[in-house]
Amino acid sequence: MTDVLLERFAALADPTDDSDWLDVRRRARRVRRRIAVPIAAAAAVLVAAAAVAAGGGWMFSTHDRQVTAATSVSLDGKTWHVSITTGTFGRVCFHIDGSPGRTCTGRLGELHQARPFGALDSKVSGGQIWLGATIGFARRVVITTTSGHTYTTATTAAPKGTKTPFRYWALAVAGTAKSITAYDAHGRAITKSLTSLR
């Protein structure tokens, strides 16, 4: 008795085995590399995006448990680049382009403008630049000058991944600030006189 299937499969078989399995494996590695390089590049972009994020005109970056928030403000046609770095134990550093070095406090509460504004000012040509790292409830900050003009800005929360409780703000003010007011989401306000602190 003959096996019909065996005879048919035998007729299909190639008696000369000229396959090059090393070449097949080489080509497979090349394909993997072509896929791996874009995946690695995409992963690097995601890591960078996690480290630097934008929000409300601010750029945020994190390094060694410190959060740096940077933005720009304009006064009399000149743009000033400013940054606030908040670190562990409430340490805060402020920097304004064109001013020497950074102004740092030991703790946020040691600022002469103190809580809840976490504010510091710097005199510039034509007025003042105010920066602040406020406590979380403040949604808007208003500065009133000695001449009665008001300047307002929304506060910006850092991205969630930064794990900082502060909200950041910056204002360029023509003249000299007289008072600062922080508003919460319901419109309740806290006001502090600045002239008494000078």
At 119, is the pLDDT very low, low, confident or very high (cuts 50, 70, 90)? confident
pLDDT for residue 54 is more than 70:
no
Q: Is residue 106 part of a domain?
A: yes
Rounded to an integer, what distance in angstroms lies between the CA atom of residue 60 and that of residue 82?
12
Q: Is residue 21 part of a domain?
A: no
Task: State residue 147 phi and psi, 5-degree precision.
Answer: -90, 0
Tell me if the bond preceding 116 is cis, omega within 30° of 0. Answer: yes
Query: How many other C-beta atoms lie within 10 A of the C-beta of residue 192?
Result: 16
Q: Is residue 44 part of a domain?
A: no
Looking at the whole model, is its pTM more than 0.75? no
At 95, is the pLDDT very low, low, confident or very high (cuts 50, 70, 90)? confident
For residue 128, what are the domain limits? Answer: 56-197
The whole-number pLDDT of residue 45 equals 47
What 8-state DSSP symbol labels residue 32? Answer: H
Q: Is residue 43 part of a domain?
A: no
Rounded to an integer, what distance in angstroms lies between the CA atom of residue 83 and that of residue 55?
14
Average pLDDT for 72-80 = 89
Cα 42 from chain centroid? 19
Please count the structural domains in the chain: 1
Instruction: Taking the CA atoms of 103, 109, 111 and 116 in sequence, report the sign of the dihedral they define.
Output: positive
Q: Is residue 22 part of a domain?
A: no
How much is the mean pLDDT over the chain?
Answer: 76
Q: Is residue 33 part of a domain?
A: no
Average pLDDT for 132-143 = 88
pLDDT for residue 190 is more than 80:
yes
What 8-state DSSP symbol labels residue 158? Answer: P
Q: Is residue 32 part of a domain?
A: no
Q: Is residue 8 part of a domain?
A: no
